[in-house]
Structure 1
Amino acid sequence: MTGIERRRRWSDEEKLSVLSQVGVDGETVAGVARRHDITRQHIYQWRREMRRKGLMSPRDPMLVPVEITEDAAPDRDNDHPDPVDHVELVLTNGRSLRARATMSDAQWIRLIRIAEAA
């Protein structure tokens, strides 16, 4: 033996980075834990800790009802509506996200998790 092995200390930013990887592109807790050489229990414990500190939303992103209204702008040409190139989401914590409408579900999930963890 060459010395004493010490436990690794993880900052909140590092923990949030690891936590944000779970669920992206189908990534599992076990897969993320394995990649970072930690146990699955670390991830579950970190989730509780980050939620307790208010650094992570108390629950996973969820779908909410949406009401679609007709645009009342009188000068708009309804024969050739403008294509939608951006989408804006307002999160439960009040933050707004605006991104390309062509983003994949996995990209949206990652963006939402990062915004809620910030």
Structure 2
Amino acid sequence: SDEERLEILREAFAPGAKVQHVARRYDISRSLIYEWRRAALRRARAAFVPAVVDDAPDPTLAPSPPPEPEAAIVLEMADGRRMRISASAPPALAAAALRAVR
């Protein structure tokens, strides 16, 4: 079955494994294990779609960043960091944020 073939392939190509030992254990030829491996790799390549990464996106296609909500509270920390709490933030969230920096 396909499951048995996959298990044999996993065992045969596991780190430190020897294909000849696995073939002997299952009473099959080494060439059959290599043929199963080639077939599995062909199926995997057929299912793979390469991604293309473009480091320079077209500025006309890039969405503009969302406007930053107006901050009701701005805390400036001693180390230079800032915490901005939006006017639309729920009171419980604002209280928790303030407790966290205390």
TMscore range, shorter length: 0.3 to 0.5
Which has the higher relative contact order, 1 or 2, with Cα contacts under 8 A spaced 6 or more apart? 1
If each structure's helix is expressed as a fraction of its own residues, which one has the higher value? 2
Q: TM-score, normalised by structure 2?
A: 0.40
